[in-house]
Amino acid sequence: MKNNFKLLIATTLIVCTAILSGCQKGDLLSNPNVVSESATVPASLILNQITANLLQEEEPIVSNVYRYNQHIVSNYSYYFGSNAYNWSNTSDPYSRIKFCVKLEEQAQKQFGNTTNVYFALSKFFKAYSYIWLTQRVGDIPMTQAGDPNNLTPAYDAQKTVYKNCLALLDTASMLMSNLYSPSTAGNKVDATGDIYGLSFLQWHKVINTFKLRVLISLSKRAVDNADLNIPAQFAAIVTNTAKYPIMTSNGDNLAYKYTTITLYPPNRTGNAPYNNCANISQTFMNLLTQNRDPRTFVLTTPALYYIKRGKQLSDFTAYIGQDNNKTQAQMTNFNADSLYSCMSYNRYMSSPSGANCEPYILLGYPELCFNIAEAANRGWIPGVTGASWYAAGINASLSLYGISDGKSVTIGNYDGTNTNLGSVTLDVATFLTNVAYAGENAAGLTQILNQKFLAFWMNSGYESFYQWRRTGIPAFGQGGAGVGTPGNTIPLRWQYPLSEINYNSSNYQAAIQSQYGGADDLNAKMWLIK
């Protein structure tokens, strides 16, 4: 045994000596799988990376996003998490911005110009990414960001970030307008790189539609920042759609489609049978039922407790939302007594591929309609009233779910054990009468914002939350222990990414000092919403 040990040591020394000698001579090969900085990488491959990861920060469907948006309420944390607004540090989109920089480098290298479609889309994705982060935290690095030689970029004021992003979107729109003709407008931009499968014209529409979203999000800054020309920029797009095409139907939506490979999220995680562990939020449900909204029967299930006691499936009072203010301990055990409504199992949980549900919308036509209606209500578009756009937004939302007047829909229970409790005939006409536009006034604005909130059901990321933060409409439930924060109030922002705190500390400290008095305060108001 002693001799074997000596032999092992001797052998180890020989091997180590050989390795060290080899390293000194430099005869070890570099990793052949690593692409060099000077290599040519197909622009399509980089575009695919960007488009496929747009959902990375959106957290689609049944996730904490839609609990924070007060669409749903988890009554059992094991399957659907907590309802508490206990977020802290945000993630960041700078990895996507790095890919945008590489996309531009490769596009110029491969096409010999800076006016190709990849440049146009890169400008859009950059603006999308910077907006994503600034609306979460406030001031962010932008003008110096993306430079590999500057690892501590200075922060830009939030106003400057928005101004620069609007300019990026203008550039993207201008570039796109020169890349197609009427005969080529329907051609796909990139069959292998663009997972959304949009044409040149459709991407052009996405860019301008997104700019309208950005401009309406600046409504609280429209009066005291005349240099941004927010109303004028908005009107310029809406009144000149030949130059600035915008979405004209749900067919233009920037939407992610589920397949047998990209499974619908609750089915992917195996949580579909536990649909009763999440209820519809009272905030969302009350807006549906008070106007006899037919989406009630398509998106949700009845509270079976009341059906068993004689209420009809068509009775709106049998559809009950759960209160976000309650702690999960205060909520009923797994919804076993069926006192509250859940998401429609038939629509959302019955197919792993999402065959019965709508695709996940990142940016959609219904929102566009309501954004224009809101701008018209605010007087931003001379000669345009909100009524027609408000109606168009409602009809576009109904259409997304296949809702039409007189259509019969089958109602199932919450867990799929009975997918046919009976049917309900949809009454769209009564609903439309109940939500008839009140006019260019505060009541009309509230209607627009309420209907836009409903149209955001399980899509568009945090847009429901951002609208509430900006306008207070609809009134989110807060003040109860279920909110889970000191004072039980909903936070207004996220703290800065840990990457900024750890590696760009001096600029981070200066940013929170200039904006929030030195504290990275979740309840502080950024420039956007002051």
Question: How far is CA 374 from its chain centroid?
Answer: 20
Asked if residues 161 and 515 have their Cβ atoms less than 8 Å apart, the reply is: no
Amino acid at 118: Y
Domain range summary for the chain, segments of one domain joined by +? 86-246+492-530
Quick one: DSSP state of residue 410? E
3-class SS of residue 431: helix
Q: What is the pLDDT of residue 272?
A: 85
**Residue 11 pLDDT level (bands cut at 50, 70, 90):** very low
Distance CA 172, CA 204 (A): 8
pLDDT at 30 over 70: no
- φ, ψ dihedrals at 122, nearest 5°: -60, -40
Q: Per-residue pLDDT tens for 275-295?
A: 999 999 999 999 999 999 999
Q: What is the pLDDT of residue 63?
A: 78
Q: How many Cβ atoms are within 10 Å of 436's Cβ, its own excluded?
A: 11
Nearest to 520 by CA among 159, 154, 139: 139
Mutual orientation of helices 442-455 and 282-289 as an angle, nearest 10°?
Answer: 120
Q: Per-residue pLDDT tens for 401-459?
A: 999 999 999 999 999 999 999 999 999 999 999 999 999 999 999 999 999 999 999 99
Q: What is the pLDDT of residue 426?
A: 98
Residue 13 CB-half CA count within 13 A = 6
% of the chain exceeding 90 in pLDDT: 81
Asked if residues 211 and 241 have their Cβ atoms less than 8 Å apart, the reply is: no
Amino acid at 529: I
Asked if residues 262 and 55 have their Cβ atoms less than 8 Å apart, the reply is: no
Distance CA 160, CA 83 (A): 34
3-class SS of residue 215: helix
Bridge partner residues of 188 (DSSP): 199
3-class SS of residue 138: coil
pLDDT at 43 over 80: yes
Token pair for 391: 């109606």
Q: What is the pLDDT of residue 34?
A: 60
Distances (CA, A) of 91 to 57, 88, 106, 132, 380: 8, 10, 27, 10, 34
Answer CATH for 86-246+492-530 from 1.10.3720.10, 1.25.40.390, 3.30.390.30, 1.20.20.10: 1.25.40.390
Quick one: average pLDDT of 357-373? 96
Distances (CA, A) of 120 to 172, 204, 422: 4, 9, 51
Distance CA 403, CA 407 (A): 7
Q: Per-residue pLDDT tens for 140-172?
A: 999 999 888 899 999 999 999 999 999 999 999
Buried b (16+ CB within 10 A) or exposed e, 341-355: bbbbbbbbbbbeebe
Q: What is the pLDDT of residue 270?
A: 82
**Residue 35 pLDDT level (bands cut at 50, 70, 90):** low
Q: Per-residue pLDDT tens for 314-350?
A: 999 999 999 999 999 888 665 667 899 999 999 999 9
Angle at CA of residue 371, ends 491 and 369, nearest 5°: 135
Quick one: average pLDDT of 204-217? 98
